[in-house]
Amino acid sequence: MSERVQGSTHSDVWIAHPGGRISARVWSPEEPRAAADDSPIVLFHDSLGCVELWRSFPAALCVGTGRRVIAYDRLGFGRSDPRDERPALDFIADESRTYFPTIRQQMGFGRFIAFGHSVGGGMAVHCAADFADACEALITESAQAFPEDRTLQSISAAREQFKAAGQIERLEKYHGNKARWVLEAWTECWLHPDFATWTLEPILPRVTCPLLAIHGVHDEYGTTRHPRMIADLSNGPSRVEIMADTYHVPHREKERGVVELVRDFIASIK
């Protein structure tokens, strides 16, 4: 199915993986630019996210940059097939090892730009490191680099809030009967005592492509220590953008501003 949206068209595709079917969506600009700009921007969603929860951002990013944008529901999320087991505690690194190669192969792209929001930022970091020869640029948004006290406190508070009547139904709108699994995959992994030692620190030096780290100054899931650490420890040219009056979801709170940041960043690295 293909649909025209604000200067772009999008189509939905299914990706076959040994663990189950993965749902993806591709936005393509109505006026493609030069072949040199053909590498897509791949979006990695947050802990409760899915393709639908990116809302209007992928279309705006596609039009703003003139590039294809690809987003997919991780296995167990959104329209993708369910998973029985909870993710292992190395699930952030595992996305790059176990799932992204299949996404890349079946979607038919070689070079790419990785864009990850929240925990998806950590996954994007791993993909940039593991596929360093193919990753043209890395963009993290509200990414966590380690389990900061603020991060864990906010996750604990969210776990309590989801116990209230009607709250899980909010997730069911996007994840169906997988909603409880999605919630626990987030809270029980991050709050597990053995997850306390997780960090992007050993991975970041393997990132050699240009990096843009975006963060809201009021992000309730992490202070500005995270983007600064991501930029400081990577081995390519890096840029940190701290957005004023912004919380954990800059691409929703200030969509135009984020699109402009990404557009200008990509233009600067050509």
Inform me whether the pLDDT recorded for 34 exceeds 70. Answer: no
Which pLDDT belongs to residue 1? 46
The pTM assigned to this predicted structure is 0.96
Inform me whether the pLDDT recorded for 184 exceeds 80. Answer: yes
Inform me whether the pLDDT recorded for 96 exceeds 60. Answer: yes
Distance CA 144, CA 121 (A): 7
Give the residue-averaged pLDDT of 25-37.
Answer: 75
Burial (CB < 10 A; 0-12, 13-18, 19+), residue 73, is buried
Which pLDDT belongs to residue 110? 96
Helices (H) and strands (E) in the chain — how many of each?
A: 10, 9
Distance CA 145, CA 178 (A): 27
Inform me whether the pLDDT recorded for 36 exceeds 70. Answer: no
Distance CA 159, CA 188 (A): 9
Residue 40's alpha-carbon distances to 63, 110, 190, in angstroms, are 12, 9, 30
Which pLDDT belongs to residue 101? 98
Domain limits, the chain: 2-268
Which pLDDT belongs to residue 38? 80
Task: Report the Cα 107 to chain-centroid distance in Å.
Answer: 17
Give percent of the chain with pLDDT exceeding 90: 93
Inform me whether the pLDDT recorded for 178 exceeds 70. Answer: yes
What are residue 121's phi and psi, to 5 degrees?
-65, -40
Q: 2-268: which CATH topology? A: Rossmann fold (3.40.50)
